[in-house]
Structure 1
Amino acid sequence: MAPMANPSKKSTPNNSKKNSSFRKYIIGFWTLFGAGILFIIVLFLLAGWGAFGKMPKFEELENPETNLATEIFSSNGETLGKYYSENRTPIKFDDLPDHLIEALVATEDERYYQHSGIDAQGTLRAAIFLGSRGGASTITQQLAKLLFTDDVSKNFMGRVMQKFKEYIIAIRLERQYTKEEIITMYFNKYDFIYQAVGIRSASKIYFDKEAKDLKLEESAVLVAMLKNSALYNPVRRPDLVEQRRNQVFKQMERNGFLTREEKDSLQQIPMKITFTPQGHDEGIATYFRVYLQGFMRNWIEKNPKPDGSSYNIYRDGLNIYTSIDSRMQEFAEDAVAKHMANLQKEFDRQNENNKTAPFRDINEDEVASIVKNAMRVSERWHKMEAQGKSKEEIIKSFDEKREMRVFSWKGTRDTIMTPKDSILYYKSFFQAGMMSMTPQTGEVKAWVGGIDFKSFKYEHVKQAKRQVGSTFKPFVYATAIDQLKLSPCDTLPRNHFTIEAGKMGTQNDWSPRNSDDKYEGMMTLKSALANSVNTISARLIAKTGPRPVIELLDKLGVDTKDIPAVPSIALGTADMSLFEMVSAYSTFANEGVYVKPVIVNRIEDKNGTVLYQHVPETKDVLSKETAYVTLNLMEGVTQFGTGTRLRGNWAVNNAYYKKAMTGYPYDFKNPIAGKTGTTQNGSDGWFMGMVPNLVTGVWVGGEDRAVHFPGISFGQGATMALPIWGMYMKDVYSEKDLGVSSGAFPRPENLSIEINCDNYKKGKNDSQLIPDELDF
């Protein structure tokens, strides 16, 4: 028998083929693996070389291109508003609360402090599970995408190429910046929508507070929004955002930032936001911010950057430190809103049977002319004209009813009316202007240019000029005191007085009438000013001449080119702005020294370098004696004249009238110098009020002079404007930190003009005052 073969030493054709195939698979696998690695390396290299699109240079990584909002600060450090193309205001890492950073890391990138830009573990997980168990983008990659890549590509290969770019940029960012700097840049760059670009803007808009003051539950809301701020937005979808917020708490517990008890407790807190939009039409001091834009344009034209280019308030991140005090600004806006709502209600009531409402003393043809002129300057007219529409088509469109949203004192309301009717509707509203200023420094502390900036863009502090009425008279009295050394106790007859035609520039005989039609007896100058006696003002300007009064105004910062040198200006026929009136009156309170009003104290660039520092502009205009005696005259206005409503002993019987006096009784006990002003037919109501370190002016009137009350009881400065001053000052005095004086005006040393009428002159009866009668 032949010996059996050893099977272990015998090869078969099949085994050889299997071994050969296995080796091929192994070789093929490693070849493919190596090729894949090589392919990825090549993709990284190509991405780094810019083959898939522009890559940032080192300098761009050092200074990433961002649009930074210019921030406007009040004198007490609050943000008044911003100018921006993107509402981004940078924040420093030290101002980010720890819980905000913890929430971000726990939710968006658990291994943030362990990786160098790319999370290999997360990337592998995302690749294996195709993203179903979470994405792989690190915080650094998300920042890279925000900084340097375009919108997300819609096709797969484009997205892959974009991802490689993000990887390269993320790695470079990690090499260039610290982890803290990357987190700060990410929070500064992210868009939370509603004009909230960056965490600081988002904190203000969604919670009305600075980021450093956020509570943990508020920080969690903002971190929840990072997933998709349009989808997870607390304004649009509060329930969805609350669920996402609670997931943030869960992630913080998982990563050891919260205990289970803390997480459970936080998840029970209802989500609450304080939505505070920061659009250009929202917030406080809206009219002031528009005026400030003009100031900045002028400054930018004269102050280029070191490289010769111009600053841009919408993207250069400037910091503007203004003179406005946010507390006083809020008091001013609140006083205007409260009084004007009540005044408007009474005005509408008195117009119920007025056929030409809201106008008075004009016929229907004149009403039609006003409406036609308003149509021609309207935005609708300009748009349709630009579209090539004919004049007839445009006019016809004003009679077609349409849906619209209109302003009302009870809030914006939806209605249906024709554009022509909307013109009449908006013209029916009284407007107001208010400005408050520190006379010693020129700092403007409050600026209210109208009743609602969204609906009424025309500004009534600096832009508008209106007849000033009797508020002009102190300039006449001051000129007379300066020239003639008059005392408040000197007397003049209140009887009729005429300046003949041809004298002092008059074309016809000029015989002013007194508002009370009383022309008998003698009056002290103090009583005459307190009660706005026109005939005595006429006698004074006849003695001084109108030219010296205009020269005084010019020294007080008033534009006098359109003020004629005629005696009638003594009664306030001149048009002046509220800005001019407040700055001029401030000279009396500042002992005769004029200080040019200031609205900007300092401007800094985004790095804190001072670009502008205000230097006060002052000039001596009046002697201390003249300024003080004029103030003493004006104190009489609030002691026993047209401004006594500021005192606690004034009362009215008419129920509607009393209701219009919003905030009454004011019950001021301290010295107040002031002057009311009322123009013909009550078209304009003024009140100028002064305490030693604060001068405030108020104007109220219709857009058109034909919009006014039918009678003087409501159509006077004491009713239209004075209540705003009263409410404002009550609030100002309630805020002790503001330091507004309630004392007497400083009396000059060696005062030569006697102001105490008891000491001025005694007659036969010592209890009876008999001042000298002036011979004019």
Structure 2
Amino acid sequence: MVLREPCVSGIVSRMRTRRKTRDARTHGISWVLIIILVSLCVVGYGGYRGVLALFDSWTDDLPDVNDADAFQLAEKTTILANDGSTVLAELYLENREPITIDKVSQYVLNGTVATEDERFYQHKGVDLQGIARAVAVNLTGGQEGASTITQQFVRNTLLSSEMNDITVKRKVREMELAIQLEKIYGKDEILMMYLNTINYGDGCYGIQSAAQHYYSVDASDLTLAQAATLVGIPNSPTLYNPVQNPDNALQRRNLVLSRMLTNGYITQDEYNDAAAEDLDLDVEEPSSSDGIYKYPWFTSYVRDTLEQQYSTDVVFKGGLTVTTTIDPQMQEYAEEAVENEYNSGTMLDGQEIALTCVDPHTGFIKAMIGGRDYSEDQFNIATSSKGRQTGSSFKMFTLATAINQGIDPNKTFIDCNGPVTVSGATIYNFGHHNYGTLSIADMTACSSNTGYIRLVTGKGGVAPQSIIDMATSMGLSGATLKPYPSITLGTGEANTTEMASAYGTLAANGVHHEATGIVKVVDRNGNVLVDNTNGTDGKQVISGNVAYAVTQVLKGVVYKSNGTAHAAALPSGQVVAGKTGTTDYWRDLWWCGYTPQLSCSVWVGSRDNTLIQYSSTWAQDVWRHFMTDALSDYPIEDFKKYDPPAYSSKFAGSSSDKKSDDTKTAEEKAADDSSKDTTETQTPAATDNPGTDNSNTNTTPTPNPNPGNDQPSPTPNPGGGETPNPDPGGGGGGTEPGGGETPATP
């Protein structure tokens, strides 16, 4: 026997070309139905015409068997890793895997026909002899059905909404559709339609899923006894369920064997041997209650993305095949790096780690960790719309905005002493340290709060709204970003996926690729719904010149003596750039670092915002451990070099951007007061080497000689970073959220 199509949907997709479309149905009804049903009516011309009219009204709105959508059955969606073979999840309401007839044991085919419809290959969809036999059996006190395999298939698919209607009308409709169906399909095709759709209990639909579930084998490998057991289930999937009711299942199996013997499909010896066997089940229990098998943080993110893009119905019934961006090897590296930090003995139970790594040139998410234990509540910190305050890692956006509007980071010097008061809030540097006057590059390396506040509030400085515009163009949602000077200290919220994507824009020379977990989505018919094979669409949000200048400054965070991220330096010597971030009292610790090949952001904190035990390098340690492994197969390379952007001779921004005193808010007036402390010294044109002049951002990176040192310096040295106010709410007030970082020990 040869089946021409693998499943119902495949058959339907070729229906129109395989055979001539059935002539439009007139108001007459098939002669078979007339004979059957007229016999139940009063004989006479008037009665005959009345029956015809009644039947015609019953069948006038039947589904079109030429309509492919009418046969769409629930099929599971399969989610794969980027290798196309590692199964991450199978999402379904009905566990079904359609197969072709050559993938089914002959015992199943023969047993199904012998048990359900022994004249299957003789009738035309409705079996008159079978009906007569069933009537005789039932009249003598027995029980026997008369529905053919074709009728059962119609009932389970085209008329599934009427399945529970025990009426003559439903039976007439079922029989008419069965006759129509047999005019279009061959017997083997109809048999496989049935076997691919029927309910075998325990959530299994179709013979393949049943074979795998009950016996852990493919349908092609079922033995006679196993096949007979499965063939017996559909008559009553609960009553004959071999797991729940093994005695009933055994009796039903032997009945199937008896019918196979009677119909000549097996010999007496085969019957005897099979009937003597126990059920010998090898039940394959689902490895996950939600269908997710591997990498649950990432896989649940992909599932949720699909549900938002399509619908829950499509995702769990549509039979999609989804190839994702996750790299199994990188994901294993990420899990190992995070687990090592959890087991280091320094972290408390309430502290969690989130990590996202993206390919900056495609937007592909390569690894993701969303917290400590997915099984607890499935909350994903790495993608949550309720992000975490970013602290000083947000200063990157202020830096990029400043350079983009023409401010030279190496030749613009700003007063980095403290404190600074803005709108009643007093801003300090780490340890209340006074750094003096520093270039923007140097104040970035040491993460001076007061310097960055003055950069935002100073005359001709960087407007808060411009910073927000920069952040959103690079990948942040912007929902929690408010246009106040404190924005530069990281009062807004983001998750690690957004931050990795944003910093990746710098690694991609100013081109932003939206982060995605999906490479391709294909529907059950092979139609490509989504194709990100070459990455998400890239948008040049800043020039390569600006991106390179920002990167040169952020390299200093790792390699300058006063930088706050010495622990992020990679042992291989691969160049690194990035920015640390810490909020008040170390509630949130960030390290957003990138190389030319990958961008990875790590957050450490407590989900309920409680104070955490503190180590200045936790996030850096996780990042370094992960990136050392993740980059092991990549050649070492430097960032693509660009000429410096066209810097202006003073802060960018014209007087036309300024408000008059009588239109300014109280915060803006306070900002003007604080700007009096700002030094706006600029030298003329920039050199072709923006990493020089009071900056060592072009310094060749060397491996950190003590990357495991995660303790802050006892006494912060110049360049030491940020600190929260030790007496919040009293006296001099507290810092803005976005508190203090500890300098790395040189």
Q: TM-score, normalised by structure 2?
A: 0.60
1:317 alignment partner in structure 2: 318
- Asked whether the equivalents of residues 91 and 200 of structure 1 are also in contact (C-alpha less than 8 Å), the reply is yes
Q: Report the equivalent of 2:470.
A: 552
**Match for 1:325: what amino acid?**
I
Partner of 1:463: 385
- Matched ranges for 1:609-624 at <5 A: 609=527, 616-624=537-545
Which one is further off, 39-48 or 108-117?
Answer: 39-48
Aligned counterparts of 2:115 and 2:623: Cα–Cα separation in 1 = 53
For residues 345-360 of structure 1, the aligned pairs below 5 Å read 347-348=348-349
Question: Is the contact between residue 446 and residue 557 of structure 2 (CA under 8 Å) also seen in structure 1?
Answer: no
Alpha-carbon distance in 1 for matches of 2:607, 2:178: 59
In structure 2, do the counterparts of structure 1 residues 345 and 750 end up closer, same or farther at CA, with 3 Å as the change threshold? Answer: closer
* Cα distance in 1 between the residues matched to 2:321 and 2:519: 8
Structure 1 residues 90 and 264, CA gap change in structure 2 (3 angstroms): closer
Once the two structures are superposed, what CA deviation does each residue of 1:143-170 show, in whole Å capped at 9, x if it has no partner? 13323374467xxxx6899767655544
Hey, what does 1:594 align to over in structure 2?
512
Distance 1:200 1:727 in 2: 44
Q: Which residue of 1 aligns with 2:549?
A: 626
Distance in 2, Cα, partners of 1:432 & 1:249: 58
Q: In angstroms, what is the RMSD of aligned CA positions? A: 5.9
| Structure 2 gap segments, 5+ residues each | 1-33, 42-47, 645-687, 700-717, 720-746
Provide, for residues 324-349 of structure 1, a one-character-per-residue CA deviation record: whole Å limited to 9, x for no partner.
4374796499569957986999635x
Residues 1:226 and 2:234 aligned together:
yes
Which whole-Å CA distance do the structure 1 matches of 2:334 and 2:273 have between them?
Answer: 43
Q: Corresponding residue for 1:62?
A: 66
Q: How does 1:505-544 map to 2 (within 5 A)?
A: 506-508=422-424, 510-514=426-430, 534=449
Query: How far off its partner does 1:596 sit?
Result: 2.9
2:461 alignment partner AA: G
Higher RCO (Cα < 8 Å, 6 or more apart): 2
Deviation at 1:281, TM superposition (A): 7.8
Asked if the contact 2:215–2:281 (Cα under 8 Å) also holds between the matched residues in 1, the reply is no
In 2, the alpha carbon distance for the partners of 1:725 and 1:266 equals: 62
Q: Deviations over 1:706-758 (max 9, x none)?
A: x232x313xx6x43x56765676688679xxxxx7463344326784376989
Rg larger for: 1
SS at match of 1:176: coil
8 Å contact 2:76–2:319 — kept in the other structure?
yes
1:467 maps to a residue whose letter is Q
Identity %: 25
Deviation track 1:258-280 (CA, whole Å, cap 9, x = no partner) reads 99699879968953333227876
Amino acid at match of 2:596: P
For the residue of structure 2 that corresponds to 1:177, the secondary structure is coil
Q: 1:563 to 1:609 in 2, by over 3 A?
A: closer
Whole-Å Cα distance in 1 between the matches of residues 176 and 530 of structure 2?
Answer: 42
CA displacement at 1:467 relative to structure 2: 0.7
Asked if 1 retains the 8 angstrom alpha-carbon contact of 2:602 and 2:623, the reply is yes
Answer yes or no: is the 8 Å Cα contact 1:472–1:571 preserved in 2.
Answer: yes
Tell me if the contact between 1:67 and 1:88 (Cα under 8 Å) persists in the aligned partners: no
The aligned counterpart of 1:293 is: 307
* Partner Cα separation in structure 1 for residue 493 and residue 529 of structure 2: 36
- The alignment partner of 1:699 has SS state of strand
| Local SS of the residue matching 1:255 | coil
Structure 1 CA distance for aligned equivalents of residues 77 and 247 of structure 2:
33
Matches within 5 A, 1:571-610: 571-598=489-516, 607-609=525-527
| Mapped partners of 1:250, 1:745: distance in 2 | 75
CA contact (8 A) 1:47 1:168 kept: no
Distance 1:165 1:620, change over 3 A: closer
The reply on whether 1:183 has 2:191 as its aligned counterpart is yes
Please name the residue that 1:748 is paired with: 641
The residue that corresponds to 1:42 in the other structure is 39
Contact 1:287/1:453 (8 A) holds in 2? no
Task: Map Cα deviations across residues 611-642 of structure 1 (whole Å, 9 max, x no partner).
Answer: 66667141241424325425634654999964
Deviations 1:492-541 (CA, angstroms, capped at 9, x unpaired): 99x9613654xxxx3357542226x7667999988976775656666776
**Structure 1 residue 177: Cα displacement:** 1.9
Decide whether the 8 Å contact of 1:437 with 1:443 is kept in 2.
yes
Q: What are the superposed Cα offsets for residues 48-72 of structure 1, whole Å, 9 maximum, x if unpaired?
A: 9765994486643334365546846
Matched, 1:497 2:417: yes
**What is the match of residue 26 of structure 1?**
none
| Structure 2 CA distance for partners of 1:462 and 1:215, relative to 1, 3 Å | farther
Whether the aligned pair in 2 keeps the contact of 1:592 and 1:626 (CA below 8 Å) is no
Tell me if the contact between 1:538 and 1:567 (Cα under 8 Å) persists in the aligned partners. yes
Q: SS of the residue aligned with 2:589?
A: strand
SS in 2 for 1:697: strand
Q: Distance in 2 between matches of 1:323 and 1:521?
A: 50
Distance 1:112 1:701, change over 3 A: farther
Give the letter for the 1:437 counterpart. Answer: V
Are the counterparts in 1 of residues 509 and 544 from structure 2 also a CA contact under 8 Å? Answer: yes
Match of 1:474 among 396, 401, 409: 396
2:614 paired residue among 712, 716, 720: 712
Mapping of 1:628-647 within 5 angstroms? 628-630=551-553, 632-633=555-556, 636=559, 642=565, 644=567
Matched with 1:93 is: 100
Partners of 1:281 and 1:454 within 8 A in 2 = no
Q: Secondary structure at the match of 2:471?
A: helix
Please give the secondary structure, in 2, of the residue aligned with 1:686.
Answer: strand
Question: How far apart, in 1, do the equivalents of 2:561 and 2:126 lie?
Answer: 74
What SS is found at the alignment partner of 1:60? coil
2:586 counterpart residue number: 682
User: How far apart are 1:468 and its partner, in Å?
Assistant: 0.5
Distance 1:125 1:342, change over 3 A: farther
User: How many residues of Structure 1 are paired with residues of Structure 2 in the alignment?
Assistant: 591
For residue 181 of structure 2, what is the aligned residue in structure 1?
A: 173
**2:603 corresponds to 1:699:** yes
CA shift in 2, pair 1:440/1:123, >3 Å: same
Q: Which amino acid aligns with 1:748?
A: K
Structure 1 residue ranges without an equivalent (≥5)? 1-36, 298-310, 349-428, 649-667, 735-739, 762-772
Give 3-state SS (helix, strand or coil) of 1:688's partner: strand
Q: Which amino acid aligns with 1:626?
A: A
Residue 563 to residue 455, structure 1, CA distance change in 2 (3 Å): closer
Deviations 1:78-97 (A, max 9, x none): 6766787x547674637954
Structure 1 distance, partners of 2:232, 2:337, is: 40
Offset of 1:558 from its aligned partner? 3.1
1:381 — aligned with what?
none
The 3-state SS of whatever aligns with 1:313 is helix
Residues 628 and 748 in structure 1, CA contact (< 8 A), matched pair in contact too: no
**Separation in 2, partners of 1:731, 1:258:** 63
Deviation for aligned residue 1:545: 3.2
Query: Could you tell me whether the CA contact under 8 Å between 2:99 and 2:208 is conserved in 1?
Result: no
Query: Given residue 498 of structure 2, which amino acid in structure 1 is its aligned partner?
Result: E
Deviation at 1:680, TM superposition (A): 1.4
SS in 2 for 1:61: coil
**CA distance in structure 2 between the aligned counterparts of 1:332 and 1:72, rounded to whole angstroms:** 24
Q: Structure 1: which amino acid aligns with 2:236? A: N
State the alpha-carbon separation in 2 of the partners of residues 196 and 569 from structure 1: 54
CA contact (8 A) 1:500 1:508 kept: no
Higher helix share: 1
Structure 1 750/245 Cα, relative in aligned 2: closer, same or farther at 3 Å?
A: farther
Alpha-carbon distance between aligned partners in 2 of 1:627 and 1:202, rounded to the nearest angstrom: 58
